[in-house]
Amino acid sequence: MPGRRLFSLCAFIAASAAFAQDEGPGPIPPELGRIADEWACAQSRETPGYFASLNGAEVSDAERSQLYACASFLGNFEGGNTVYASPSADSYQGVLFMNNRRPGELYLTGGNNPPPQGKVPPGPYVARADDTTGREIWRTYLQNGNVSGEWVGAANLNILPDGAIVVAFGNHLVKLDGDTGRILQHAALTPDAPLEGSNFKHLTIAPDGTLIVKNQTRATPCDIQGTLAAFQCPGGVAASPGSTILAVDPDTFEVLARVSVPENAVVPHTITSFDGRIAIYAPSILKAYRFFWDPETRTLSQDADWATPYLEPGQTTGDAPAILGDWVVFQTNGLPTDKAASSITAINQHDATQITRVYPFGEDLPTGQSWAPPKSAVDTENGLVFSADQNMMKIGAVRLDQDSGEMEVVWTLDGATTALQALYGPADARVLGTARAAAGTTLAELNQTNAPTYTQTALWLNALTGEVLAESDPLPPMNFNTLLSPGYGGRFYYMHDQGFYVLKVLPERP
């Protein structure tokens, strides 16, 4: 396979579902000559509401594009690359997001993947780690479900312009000192749903700096833990109450406004500027909705003219929206289904009745199931939308005509993953980073909730063609709905249930 070379690091022990790690090549320093250029590039980007960094937002920006144009892929585009990898010196259970502030400053959220029943690992927590060794500098625990009895789900990670870290989880909002991990502020958030059925895990920052926070809900009573409780509780998502969107002042933590979503909006919202207004797009289990935040009147309102069914029969909720020109793009089947294949669906921002769709991997279900929890990444400059369906075991790209909204499949690749698709580098040399399960992995193995017994590889592709540029040897499965996060100096971070690997791709030595 082109580009497939790896410095050996670990052995998989199937009986215990654990990985025996050696030290690999040792700590992986940054490519020194790249740091200044990457920092300068990051400072030139407009990142309203976020710290200007290579990766200061959970998924790059408020539009959740997952595009990291300032990140460096150091390998050859012709293939023949070596992937070096080193395990983090310390363990981080359930690490989900990793963000950079300044070069050398690396932050992560952990404790995000509790088992559905029984004792849960403490978390969520935020930690700062050495960006080369993964050695912990500090860790701040925010919750322990064994003590609080609260619903523990995933937590976001975003860095404010002043360098502080803001995190939403459960019915809480906190701000941490980025230097010390000290808790600076806390606000209790009040949902429309019962407190025990609410998880304000979705936080995105509007262009004016206001925090826009939304919860996902679960049917109650229910004692199932983890984000997937939203559809695992008795009655499923159909029995769960509607979500709540809050606008919060980033300085005072005052709740400025609130608006109700008619149904459960299980997945994150996306924020963009539309016709001079701040628009919030939130797909629910039935319809796609638009809301407006007005910082002058300090009001949140639903746009009654932009509320439309967007799913085909048998499909399940769309993932977090992506913005591509005049189109709002949804990856469907964010929850598992055996009734319909996943599609990429685009809705016009000016006219919600204009809807187009394409099935990147066909309309049949060869495996009998479809589940595509990763949201689409979008490449506006190249007009591309990227899709991944774990249970159809495919990854692919489609091209969207920004005038008509019509889409066509550009390439597909075999591979099962719940990893978010991330894009790196300039438009003419764009790289797609993801992960995929080993060939032969079964659906039963892919859908294990605990102690997975399969392996995945980190994968870098030519985003325009789907050609494999580099691929690692087997690693523990990447955590659910996380990404191959970029770091300064041409490095990447691969997150699994007990920590992370620092990765670096370089041309193969002669």
* Rounded Cα distance, 274 and 188, in Å: 31
Determine the Cα–Cα distance for residues 328 and 281; give it in Å rounded to an integer.
8
Contacts of 453 (CB under 8 A, 6+ apart): 14, 17, 445
Q: Which one, of 13, 89, 121, 30, lies nearest residue 503 by Cα? A: 30
Q: What is the pLDDT along the chain (510 residues), one digit of tens a residue?
A: 444 434 333 333 332 333 434 567 889 999 999 999 999 999 999 899 999 999 999 999 999 999 999 999 999 998 899 999 999 999 999 999 999 999 999 999 999 888 898 999 999 999 999 999 999 999 999 999 999 999 998 898 999 999 999 999 999 999 999 999 999 999 999 999 999 999 999 999 999 999 999 999 999 999 999 888 988 999 988 999 999 999 999 999 999 999 999 999 999 999 999 999 999 999 999 999 999 999 999 999 999 999 999 999 999 999 999 999 999 999 999 999 999 999 999 999 999 999 999 999 999 999 999 999 999 999 999 999 999 999 999 999 999 999 999 999 999 999 999 899 999 999 999 999 999 999 999 998 888 766 678 999 999 999 999 999 999 999 999 998 899 999 999 999 999 999 999 999 999 988
Residues 6+ positions from 305 with CB-CB distance below 8 Å: 352
In whole angstroms, give the CA distance from residue 256 to residue 490: 40
Please give, one letter per residue, the 3-state secondary structure of 331-354: ECCCCCECCCCCCEEEEECCCCCC
Q: Looking at residue 139, what is its pLDDT?
A: 98
288 residue type, one letter: A
Sequence-distant contacts of 180-184: CB under 8 A, at least 24 apart: 180/138, 181/126, 181/127, 181/128, 181/138, 181/139, 181/140, 182/140, 183/140
Domains and CATH numbers, the chain: 10-507 (2.130.10.10)
- Cβ atoms of 28 and 86 within 8 Å: the answer is yes
pLDDT tens digits, residue range 124-157? 999 999 999 999 999 999 999 999 999 998 898 9
The pairing of strands 172-176 and 183-188 is: antiparallel
CA geometry: angle 270, 271, 273, nearest 5 deg = 145
What's the rounded Cα separation, in Å, for the pair 289 and 307? 5
pTM exceeding the 0.75 threshold for the entire prediction: yes
**In what helix (H) or strand (E) does residue 398 lie, and over which residues does it extend?**
strand 394-400
Amino acid 56: pLDDT: 93
Supply the pLDDT for residue 23.
63
Question: Do 501 and 88 form a contact (C-beta atoms < 8 A)?
Answer: yes
Pick from 296, 354, 305: nearest CA to 325: 354
As a whole number of angstroms, the distance between CA 307 and CA 327 comes to 15
Listed in sequence order, the residues at least 6 apart from 282 whose beta carbon sits closer than 8 Å to its beta carbon are 214, 243, 245, 261, 265, 269, 270, 288, 289, 290, 291, 321
Q: Which residues contact 40 (CB under 8 A, 6 or more apart)?
A: none
Q: For residues 419 and 433, what is the distance between their CA atoms, to the nearest angstrom?
A: 9
Quote the CA–CA distance of 329 and 100 in Å, as a whole number: 27
